[in-house]
Amino acid sequence: MEHDLRKSNMRYCIPRLRTQAPVCAGTILLVTACAPRALAPPATTSQEALAVGDGEREQRFVDSVLAGMTLEEKAGQLNQVSGLGEPTGPGGTPAGLEQIRSGAVGSFLNIVGADTVTRLQRIAVEQSRTHIPLLFGLDVIHGFRTIFPVPLAEASSWDPAAVQRSARIAATEAAAQGINWTFAPMVDIARDPRWGRIVEGSGEDTYLGAVMAAARVRGFQGSDLRDPATIAATAKHFAAYGAAEGGRDYNIADIPERTLRDVYLPPFHAAVCAGAQTLMAAFNEIDGVPAHANRHLLTDVLRGEWHFGGAVVSDWTGIGELINHGVGGDSASVARLALEAGVDIDMVSEIYRKQLPSLVRAGSIPQQTLDEAARRVLRLKYRLGLFQKPYRVGDAARVRAVTLSAEHRAAAREVARESIVLLKNDGNILPLSKELRTLAVIGSLAADSDAANGNWQALGRGEDAVSVLTGIRRAVSPGTRIVYAPGASPVDGDTTKIAAAVRVARDADAVVLVLGESPSQSAEAASRASIELPGAQLRLAEAIVATRKPVVVVLMNGRPLALQWLHDNVPAILETWFLGVEQGTATADVLFGDYNPGGRLTASFPRVTGQVPMYYNHVRTGRPASPDNKYTSKYLDAPWTPLYPFGHGLSYTSFRYGTPRLSGTTMRPGDSITVEVDVTNAGKVAGDEVVQLYLHDEVGSVTRPVLELRGFRRVRLTPGETRRIAFRIDVNDLAFHDATLARVAEPGSFTVFLGGSSVDTQQLRFRFETTDGHSIRVPGRCDAAR
C-alpha cells in the first residue's frame, strides 16, 4: 500500500544502541523520541547508529525512510539527471530546482564544485518533503584534476598497488569538490583493439583484469565509505560490453554463457568482492537480451549467485534504448522491463520518474519491486554517511590543498613511468644521451599537452600537463639544442609539413618521433576499422627514417596499434600511451635513462588489423597453426602470431631466470602446490622485472585455453641481485565452467609456464588427482588479487 504523508511532517528514526529510545535523523538536537524533522542539516545523527556494516541497523533505518515516501518520491530516488558537463549521448535535460524540492531527483551527474553541490544538497535536505540527500556522480576514470595514465596504461604497470593509489588520489580530489560517486572502474575485457573503449580497461586478460578491478575499487572507496575523502565505485559495463562484434561500439556481444562466465564476468565478481557499491548495465545485448533487460545477469547472477547488495545504474539513456533494441514498444514497457530485470537507477532518460508510479498503481509492476530499487539507492546514501553529513565537501583551503598538489603530481609521475613499455631497442639505442648536440623532436602529438591527458579527463586541463616536447627540453643538458617540427597529425592526411620535418631531422644527431592517436580516436564512440597509424603519420615516419638518422619512436595512443612497418624499420619504439599530467616528464625519464622501463603489455599488438581479434589465451583448434602444413589455422598473407605478445616489455638491463621448482608433482582437492624461481638482474643498471605465471590444462571436457595467467609479481632488482619468487597454485586456479556451466576442476595433467612474457617461459608439469577420478565443484571465491 502506498504511504501518503503529504499532509504530515516526514520523519525517519534510527534505534540507538543500549536504549529503547530512537534518535531522529536530521533534528537539531538529539532527543529521546521521534520529533518532526527540522529544516536543518542532519548533523547530529548518532555516529554509532550509522555504523557501516551493521546490516540490521542499516535496514531498519532505510525501511523507516521508505515507509514514509510516496510512489512519486520513490521513483524520484531512481531518477538521475545530468547537470553541467559533456554528455555522452543524446538526451539528458538538466533538472530544475523545483524537481529537487519535489523529490523528483535522486542523483545528479556532471555537477561539480563544492559551492554548487552544497547549494543543491541544501535544497534537497532542507526544502524537500522527504529531506533525503542527493548523490553526485562523475566519470572520474583516471584522475580528477591530477590526471593519471589512462587505465590501459596503468594496467601495463602490472602494479596493483600503484593503480589503487592513483584511484585513491582521484577520489580525494573529487570528494573535496562534492563528488561522492564515480562511474568507474571499467572492467570490461577487450580482445578487439578496434573497440575504442579498450583504453578504459585493463586489456585482454581476465585474471589481470580482476586484480586491477579490485585495486581500483579499493582505491576509490578506501576503508570507510563515510570518510569524506572516499567515493562510491561503479564496476561497468555489466556485462561483455568489450565483446562488441566487429569492435564496433554499442554493437551486440555474441558469446556463449560459458565464455561469459570464464572470461568476461570474473573482473565484475572481483569488483563486487572488493566492495563495489554499484554496477552499471551495458549497452550491448547477449544472446538476444539487452543488458538493461537481462534479469538473468542483473538478478540471478549478480544478486542471487554473488549476493550483491548494491545498486545497478543504467548507462546513458540505456533504458530508453531498449525501444531501439526492439524488446519494448514504448517508455512504459521498457521501464517495466528494466526495473524487473534489476536496473535501479535511470540515467538521464527520466523514464522511471514518468512511468513507474502509474505502472505500480495500475498493477503492472508490484510496489515491492519499486520499493526494493528505492531501498538500494537509500542504502547507498546511508553507507556514504549522507544522511548524517550531507555536505561532504571540502572548504576552500582543503580544495586547494588536495587539488593537483605536488604530492599528487609526484605520484602521477611515478605511475606514468611504471606504465611505459619498451617495445623494441635494437642496438641499445636507448637510453639517449642528454649531451647530444642537436635533438629533433617531430610529430604534432609531441607538443600537445592536452593529448597527454587522454580521454575522460574529468577536470583535467591541458595547461596542467607536461608535453613530451616540454619534458625533453627540461631533461637535456643546457648545451643541447632541441628543434621541433609537427610533421603530421593523426587526425588528417595533410602532408605539407613533412618536408620541413625532414629538414629538421637532417640537421639533428638523433630524432624522437612522436606518433600515435589523438585522444578523440579512442574511448567511447571511437571505434576504428583500421588500427594502423592514422593520418599521414606513416608517410612522415617513412620520410624521417629515410634521413638515416637514429630514430626513436614514442607512441601516444589508447589502443594496440598495427606497427609492422615501424617495427621493421625503426630501431627503438617506446609505448607511452596517454600518461596524464606527467606525460612529458615520465617519457623523458625513460628516454634519457633516469628511469628504467618495466611496463608490460596487457593487450597483444597485431601485425595488421586483419588479425584481430587477437589474444594470447585463445583455445586450441583441431588444426593448430603450423608453417609446414597449409591446412592449419593461419593466414596466407600475414603471420598468425602477434607483433608484440601479451606480457611483452623490454628493459635497459637483462634478467636471468634460474630453473623453476615445484613443491610437488601431484595436487589433490584442498592442497596447493608452490612454484619457485630465482630471478637475477644480470645487467649493469637497476630495473623491474614482471615475473608471470601461466597454466595450461592439457586435457579437458571442453576445449581449454593454450595459456591462462594465474599470477604475477613486479620486482625491482639492483645489478647482480637475485630474488626468489614464489607462487601458490590451488584448485581455484584450475577451475573453469564445464559444458553444464558448473564451475569445476577436472583431474589431469597441467603445464606451468613461468617467465617474463607469455612467449618467453620455462615449463613444469604436475597432476591434479581426485579420489574417484571425477571433477569436483569449485565455488567462486573473493581473492582474485594475491
Catalytically annotated residues: 315
Distance CA 225, CA 232 (A): 7
Distance CA 506, CA 549 (A): 7
In contact, 728 and 673? CB cutoff 8 Å: yes
Q: What one-character DSSP code corresponds to residue 240?
A: T
Nine cell digits for residue 142 = 583516471
In contact, 693 and 709? CB cutoff 8 Å: yes
Please give the C-alpha separations between residue 542 and each of 489, 506, 715, in angstroms, as whole numbers: 15, 14, 38
Nine cell digits for residue 352 = 522511471
Element spanning 151, H or E: helix 151-155
Name the residue type at position 493: G
In contact, 293 and 260? CB cutoff 8 Å: no
Distance CA 401, CA 786 (A): 34
In this structure, the chain runs to a length of: 786
Nine cell digits for residue 164 = 589503487
Distance CA 149, CA 453 (A): 8
| Close Cβ partners of 493 (under 8 Å, ≥ 6 residues apart) | 535, 536
| Close Cβ partners of 553 (under 8 Å, ≥ 6 residues apart) | 513, 514, 515, 541, 566, 570, 572, 573, 574
Element spanning 466, H or E: none
Q: What one-character DSSP code corresponds to residue 345?
A: B
* Cα-to-chain-centroid distance, residue 62: 31
Return the HEC string of 87-117.
CCCCCCCCCCHHHHHCCCCCEEECCCCHHHH
3-class DSSP assignment, residue 132: coil
**What DSSP line would sit under 264-309, residue for residue?**
ISHHHHHHHHTT--EEEE-SSEETTEEGGG-HIIIIIIIIIIS---
The per-type count for the chain, helices as H runs and strands as E runs, is 23, 30
Please give the C-alpha separations between residue 353 and each of 104, 269, 292, in angstroms, as whole numbers: 7, 30, 17
Element spanning 470, H or E: helix 468-475
For the purposes of burial, counting CB atoms within 10 Å of the CB of 359, is it exposed (0-12), middle (13-18) or buried (19 or more)?
buried
Q: Rounded to the nearest 5 degrees, what angle is found at the Cα of 771, between the Cα atoms of 765 and 773?
A: 65
Q: What one-character DSSP code corresponds to residue 260?
A: I
Strands 661-662 and 672-681, bridge-based pairing: antiparallel
In contact, 697 and 748? CB cutoff 8 Å: yes
| Close Cβ partners of 700 (under 8 Å, ≥ 6 residues apart) | 736, 746, 748
Measured between alpha carbons, how far apart are the two ends of the chain, in Å?
49
Distance CA 404, CA 416 (A): 15
Q: What one-character DSSP code corresponds to residue 404?
A: T
Distance CA 417, CA 154 (A): 10
